[in-house]
Chain A
């Protein structure tokens, strides 16, 4: 399977396009855009495990949820908490949860790994759902969003949809850029080696366990960033964000976009959120709009059976065909 990396000028163009969106968009589209970018960060973090390390985690919502709850629990009831305090705290909480769970789950492989990650996520769900730690099944409201101060100034006001859009964009670019760096660094190449042939990596002396644990913890921290931003955006957390349904959703995004490609995760997140809007539009589907998951379920079955490399795979094939027609491309050179 050929995996291409998008050329830089494409990415730059998309970022510039996104940067001018807030100038003309309504609040609805700004919030939708921010939601897509937050889910894209979430999908990127999961793709680090699935697409790049070969670890199929089915409990990734746990780390998203832990960070979201961390923000909700730190924020005082009627005043704003500091962004610079709560963001690292939330991401650290998510990373710690991933580290502790990771020590247990990374020992397992294959089908066990899938089941055990799911079970631990469900354990965290049970904790937040059954006890009063985080408001039980009702969840908690975050009445005031965190305040982002830089030396007395407030460059971004998180209460404003347009400025929150920029924050999500900056976060997405930062995650995309750093993952791109990490995957091309020795650490990322070792993860790719583990994905392709774990036995061999162990045989040539790589401490595979620690590499996997590192990837698991990093993915947890990044999922935490997504969870933190989501909690900021909606001003509300409840146990459902930890539930396995949410893990399934983000898995769907990764496959829909095409796993193992950074841009695939972003495309998948956008496609999923937009399709969800489409399927749940009562103008189009009338009374069936509230059963939008029926269409989503059908789509999942279709994608798995007919389009296993997702939209990213389609784009890659089209791109390779186009480059080949225009002469001079070695399609194997771009793998990974």
Chain B
């Protein structure tokens, strides 16, 4: 029973990582931009949810508004700054988005302070399913798992079955060819970037009641997302899904078996996969 709980946690964490890393890997695959500020949007989502839930009193209200705001910030960021990076060396992309992280962190500190906040689990979901005499599983975590699954499935359909998804795939495999065939590349890029940011903010929003809303939360998760993208293969959504679940399992198992070294387990997994397939699980060499 104990291991069932851990397995559920691993899947839930893995799917949450997938929400984050799918945006990261798509933005890299399509636009060729490495976006360090991705983690900042996870933080933005969590803080907006905390703030909106406090002022409006309802998490159900806070999450959609928070996502809309994150989408708008993403759109603004792409059109003003990120757009200028597409043709630049990765080095400058790393550096500029590193600068954006500093700005996001400091604005967060000015607006919300440096305290750790919590978001209450909504009442509707605030109970646990008893599994044994003294073990129970919170329903909210199951809810998060379900939501992530729904988003993943919706994303699959959008990418594989719709016109917009076709453009995204076209842009992913050959940007110039897609542009020549009449795809409005600037608009597509702006929307994909903003959607990636909205997804990251969404992940932050639904994770807020489980984890605490704290300074630096975005940076920690960003690096794990990088590991996911490296393991899965850059630009591959399927790879990101598999890698996210792998990481979820490795991290949870690590925390159970050797708590001190759980932080290292994830990186050792990455090192092993790099030795075996340097181009990632899903990409062919």
Contact = CB atoms under 8 A, between A and B. Distances in A.
Interface of A: 50, 56, 58, 104, 107-108, 110-112, 114-116, 118-120, 122-123, 126-127, 129-132, 244-245, 248, 251-252, 255, 291, 293-294, 296-301, 303-305, 308
A292 B262 CA distance: 34
Interface in B92-107: 92, 94-96, 98-103, 105-107
Contacts of B234: 111-112
A294 B223 contact: no
Contacts of B90: 56, 110-111, 114
A301 B99 contact: yes
A21 B173 CA distance: 58
Nearest to B102: A297
Given A111-B234, A119-B230, A305-B81, 17 more contacts: A104-B274, A111-B34, A112-B230, A114-B90, A115-B34, A115-B230, A118-B223, A119-B267, A122-B223, A130-B262, A294-B106, A296-B99, A296-B102, A300-B96, A300-B102, A301-B99, A305-B84
Ranked 4 nearest A-B pairs via Cβ = A300-B99, A126-B263, A297-B102, A123-B267
Contacts of A305: 81, 84, 96
Interface residues of B, number: 42
B210 to A, nearest CB: 21
Give the residue among A116, A120, A304 with the most B Cβ atoms within 10 A.
A304
Contacts of A308: 88, 92
Contacts of A114: 34, 90, 94
10 contacts: A110-B90, A115-B226, A115-B229, A119-B223, A130-B262, A130-B264, A293-B102, A297-B101, A300-B96, A301-B103
A104 B264 CA distance: 16
Contacts of A108: 274, 278
A131 B261 contact: yes
B261 A291 contact: no
Nearest to A112: B230
A138 to B, nearest CB: 15
Nearest to B225: A115
B250 to A, nearest CB: 13
Give the residue among B95, B105, B229 with the most A Cβ atoms within 10 A.
B95
A28 B22 CA distance: 49
Contact of A294 (B34, B88, B107, B261): B107
B79 interface: no
A100 to B, nearest CB: 10
A278 to B, nearest CB: 16
A319 B129 CA distance: 73
B91 interface: yes
Contacts of A297: 99-103, 106
A111 to B, nearest CB: 6
Given A293-B105, A293-B106, A255 B91 contact: yes
Contacts of A244: 219, 223
A280 to B, nearest CB: 12
Given A300-B96, A301-B81, A107 B274 contact: yes
A111 B28 contact: yes
Nearest to A130: B263
B274 A294 contact: no
Nearest to B84: A305
Nearest to B280: A112
